[in-house]
Amino acid sequence: MSKVHFIGIGGTGISAIALLLLEKGWQVSGTDKSASRYFDAVTAKGAYTLIGHSPELALKADLIVRSSAVRDDDPEVLAAREKGIPVLKRNEFLPNLTAGYQTLAVAGSHGKTTCTAMLVTMLLGVDMDPTFILGAQIRPLGTNAHAGSSDLFVIEADEYDHMFLGLSPTISLLTNVEYDHPDFFTTPDAYNQAFAAFIRRTQPGGTVIACTEDEGIRKLLAQEDFEDIKLLTYGYSPECTYRVENPHWNGDGYDFSLIHTPSQQNLGDFRLKIPGRHNLLNAAGTLAVLHQSGINPAGARESLANFKGTERRFDQVCHSGDTVVIND
């Protein structure tokens, strides 16, 4: 199967999958209701794209992947189903996409884009070449997807529409759990149960690394039974498996150490130039993922210090005199 058509190809999540398949040599087509920078990016990489509905184009594909925003009565969906062409959502397509890889998944209500980008940046810094997809372009890579040469697949695991339930991660990073997307999750309990189901998707022998500074995660871990899952924690508390120690703002960024509490080993002294103590936690979590992957976190010191974040995440777009404009 080598011809895939995407409905909603200009979306952040769908465009990342499309870019990855293009890099792998697949034939990709797609439609969207309007142009966007992501629509233009996949078009520039070789996808055949159209604005508006095109059942005729969809029928040329072997498989169709649709955005979460695309309804069952979409003309392309109806035409494909009438002809027997499979129409999948992201969570149904992800098992095909991640097959054969060790999946490193980053989930959470907030911070997952930054953590995914941070993890990719550090893996590149230790000469790994991960495959990755996420919902924003990584600065300075200028892309939200790449087909790498290693067996690692780093993915931003989005809870919306149960996207992350299409994954079976080797290692999962869980940043926080705070009720969101009420248009899909009608109650806070439904939202929490989705995260519980995601944790249980961990591969046998795999690991979940969770930030217990977050109240939502603490409640989830207390209320649910994850007895058969290797569960590690990170944060500022002495009880955490991975502990941020001696954080200090030096005027240009944060200096901090990361301690592996069970062994009392200092995994390294690090610097982070993006602001916010929440980003210290993000850095601790991604460094913990490296450690659990068998990679020396100290080897990523330079790449973490040079990490510049992603677009639309505390993204400074203008600084004139005393005025600073931030896109977040």
Residues labelled as active-site residues: 112-113, 156
N-term to C-term CA, the chain:
38
Residue ranges in 126-253 assigned as alpha helix (H): 188-200, 215-223
- Cβ atoms of 280 and 250 closer than 8 Å: no
**Kindly report the CA angle at 266 between 264 and 272, in degrees rounded to 5?**
140
Q: In one letter, which amino acid is 228?
A: D
- Rounded to whole angstroms, the Cα distance separating 200 from 178 reads 19
Q: In one letter, which amino acid is 222?
A: A
Tokens of 93: 């397509």
- Cβ atoms of 257 and 268 closer than 8 Å: yes
Residue 76's φ and ψ, nearest 5 degrees, are -70, -40
Name every residue whose Cβ is closer than 8 Å to that of residue 23 and which is 6 or more positions away in sequence.
45, 145, 146, 147
Q: Strands 3-7, 63-66: parallel, antiparallel or unpaired by DSSP?
A: parallel
Q: Which residues pair with 244 in a beta bridge?
A: 258
Give the H/E segment covering residue 292: helix 277-292
- Cβ atoms of 49 and 27 closer than 8 Å: no
- Cβ atoms of 107 and 157 closer than 8 Å: yes
- Cβ atoms of 58 and 5 closer than 8 Å: yes
